[in-house]
Amino acid sequence: MSIRAKIVGLVLAIAVAEAALMGTIAFTGVHHLSRPAGELRGIGQAVADARGVGGALARASDPDRVFLPEDGRAAERFSADMDEVQRRFDGCVASMCHGHGTGPPLATLRIADDLKSIRERGLRAIAARGPGRPIPLREWNAVVGAPSRDIAIRSDRMSNAVMVRAREIDEAAKDEERRSVRLVILSTVASVLATIGLCFVVARGIARPIENLAAQSRRISAGDLGARAAEEGPHEVRALAGSFNRMIDQLAAHRARLEEDYRRAARLAGVGLFAEAVAHDLSNPLTSVVLNAEVLAEAVPKEDARRGVAEDILRETRRCHKIASELRAVSREGGEIEKVPCSIGAVVNDAVRITGPGCDSRKIRVVAETGPEPASGGCSCAPVQILQVLINLIESAEGEEVRVRVRLRERLLAVEVEGRGRRDLGLRWEVTRRIVERHGGTIEIEGPVARVVLPRKDDGRSC
């Protein structure tokens, strides 16, 4: 899983958990507070109705309101006022008995009986008063006024009892509110702790591979190219570790090549010093041999058959002397070699001719496949040195037949020496490689085939 996916998943998990927790808390709080709120509304209405009972009784028991004016409708007005008293009383009866033992229920039953009695006795008192007679205040106060005041007092007591219930409900609501607050605090703390835990887990999963990568980098900076980063963790970190390991593999391979080049350069330096010493020691006797060969060739008449042998000795001795001189030049670091345009086909033919007697004695047939000019190709080189390279490669080949082929490759020229096997040239191999590289070319060994690749004379890279 990628780092982005992990972070998005973490945020979504926290958000969903927090939303679910807050929704549960809100639902619980609303559920526990909605019932007390409804009951409080009912109690408020009941208290208002209870207090209204007293006011309505005061109006109904007022003799002036009932008997004045003298229009014969006193009983009607009194009944209407008592209906209002009964309506208000009925409105508060349902809430009067909620959680208060037996007091309020019994009180409401007594008040209901007393209201009925006040209605009946008041109507009899109104009916007993004849036309033109004075208002019976004393009798009215006894049958209506005093009982009404007593009911008003009891209604106030019932209101106070209901208010006790209201205070209990209010305290319960406050307790529920405090519980909800505590639950919110606890849930918030739990969410924070869970978030920290999840972040720690995710951060550890991301940081551990990166720390491992940093540790391997420190090992590599100390020179240990065997260190490798563990390819674990998120997708991006695994990709980074993989790229890091591939980079280290490339560095290790490059260092191995550099070390090999250094060892080869050291060997070549040793070979160069040795070759220079050998060439220096051979120069003086070769000079003497060349002079004696010249004298011998001049002393033999041209028509004498031995004249050709003497000329061959002179020619080969001069070639050996030139090889020694050029070998000294090659062995010196930065030494220049004399390059001239030449036909590689001619050089190949010379190499085949020179190695012919030796190969014949080993029962090896050497075949040159140079092709016609200019297909045989040309290059700018030191012919004697390239000739020595080809002689070394032909002499190292094994088998009944050795083929020397010239191939053209766009701006490159390749000479292949193919047999059935190849002997170790020893010191001559290092000399051969150095000569080819000094000409800007390469030498490759692929099984029984030795391939020398040189720039052609029309190439800007021509040596």
pLDDT (tens, 9 = 90+) of the chain, 463 residues, equals 555 566 667 667 777 776 776 677 666 666 665 666 666 676 777 677 777 777 888 888 888 888 877 777 888 888 998 898 888 888 766 555 444 433 455 567 788 888 888 889 888 888 887 666 777 888 888 888 888 888 888 877 777 777 777 777 778 777 877 887 787 788 788 877 887 877 777 677 667 777 777 887 788 778 777 777 777 777 777 787 788 788 888 888 887 888 887 776 666 666 666 666 776 677 668 777 777 777 777 888 878 877 778 777 877 777 776 666 656 655 554 556 778 888 888 888 888 888 888 788 788 899 888 766 544 556 788 888 888 888 888 888 888 899 998 888 778 888 899 988 887 766 677 778 888 888 888 998 888 899 999 887 644 443 4
Locus of tokens 């924070």? 192
The alpha carbon dihedral of 226, 227, 228, 230 has a sign of positive
Neighbours of 201 (CB within 10 A): 12
Q: What is the pLDDT of residue 459?
A: 45
The closest of 300, 313, 439 to 379, measured between CA atoms, is 439
Would you kindly state where each structural domain of the chain is located, as residue ranges?
A: 3-200, 337-463
Separation of alpha carbons 52 and 46, rounded Å: 9
Q: 430 and 273 in contact (C-beta within 8 Å)?
A: no
Distance between CA atoms of residues 424 and 159, nearest Å:
125
List the beta bridge partners of residue 341: 380
Q: What are phi and psi of 58, to 5 degrees?
A: -65, -40
How many C-beta atoms surround the C-beta of residue 74 within 10 A?
A: 22
Which residues is 379 bridged to in the sheet? 342
Residue with tokens 């006894």: 142
Environment class of 34 (CB within 10 Å of its CB; exposed 0-12, middle 13-18, buried 19+): exposed
Residue 139 per-residue DSSP state: H
pLDDT at 232: 73
Q: Give CA–CA dist 317/319, Å, rounded.
A: 5
What pLDDT was estimated at residue 5?
65
Torsion of CA 116, 120, 123, 124, to 10 degrees: -160
Angle at 368 between CA 367 and CA 371, to 5 degrees: 140
Picking from 67, 91, 77, 151, the residue whose alpha carbon sits closest to that of residue 115 is: 151
Give CA–CA dist 356/366, Å, rounded: 7
The confidence score (pLDDT) of residue 276 equals: 65
Is the Cα dihedral 133, 138, 140, 145 positive or negative?
Answer: positive
User: With contact defined as beta carbons under 8 Å apart, do 84 and 130 qualify?
Assistant: no
Q: Domain 337-463 class?
A: alpha beta
pLDDT attached to residue 127: 83
Return the pLDDT at 185. 84
pLDDT of residue 463: 44
Looking at residue 442, its pLDDT comes to 92
